[in-house]
Amino acid sequence: MKADSSSRRQYWLHIGGNFLLFQLLWPAAIFGAVAGSSHWSLAVLALMVLHGVLFGHNQRADAIMLFSGLLIGVLFESALLAAGLIEYRLQFSAALPPVWILALWLGFAQTFNHSLGWLRRHLPLAALLGGSASVVSLFWGIHFGAADTTQPWLLGVAYAVGWALMVPLLAWLSRSLERRGEQQGVWLQ
């Protein structure tokens, strides 16, 4: 009984902690950008990574998801910038997204091994949520002043379509890593 209680507590520290830290990442990134700093988003991202090391089960899978999130984020956001659809606060280059946007991508990708792990088995739902929630997040970020656009409809469509493809891709990748970990006996969820 006691081991069961301890396992449950460990599970909720793992999943709940990742969820709460990810919920802190968005305001840290958005309001930090508006205030002129990426430090808050990097601090919360560092806490997310540390939390994954302390409470997660497969740091290698986390590292792969972090790298994948960075790669996808750079490619997607750079395409939007090149098309002139968006301009971000704290952009250090016209061709590359700012650090705080990349922190959001990294943190988001990591959640698929943790609090968003349930989406790994629901790819159509991942597409629906990705296509809708991304647009809401985008326009709230613009509303608060972290970004700007002169073509809101086109940007909204690009975000909805892009995220409807990328969220299931990240979920699928995490599921593939989970299966590989199960085969090797390192994934304990």
Which DSSP string do the residues of 42-53 spell out, in sequence order? HHHHHHHHHHHH
Mean confidence (pLDDT) of the chain: 93
Question: In 10 A of CB 17, how many CB atoms?
Answer: 19
Q: What pLDDT digit, counting tens, does each position of 62-112 carry? A: 999 999 999 999 999 999 999 999 999 999 999 999 999 999 999 999 999
In the chain, pLDDT over 90 holds for what percent of residues?
A: 84
Q: For 48-59, what is the mean pLDDT?
A: 91
Distance CA 167, CA 183 (A): 24
pLDDT band at 5 (very low <50, low <70, confident <90, very high): confident
Q: Length of the chain in residues, anyone?
A: 189
Tell me, what's the pLDDT at 188?
A: 43
| Alpha helices (H) along the chain | 2-35, 39-55, 59-82, 99-111, 123-144, 152-184
CA 172 to chain centre: 14
Q: For 104-129, what is the mean pLDDT?
A: 97
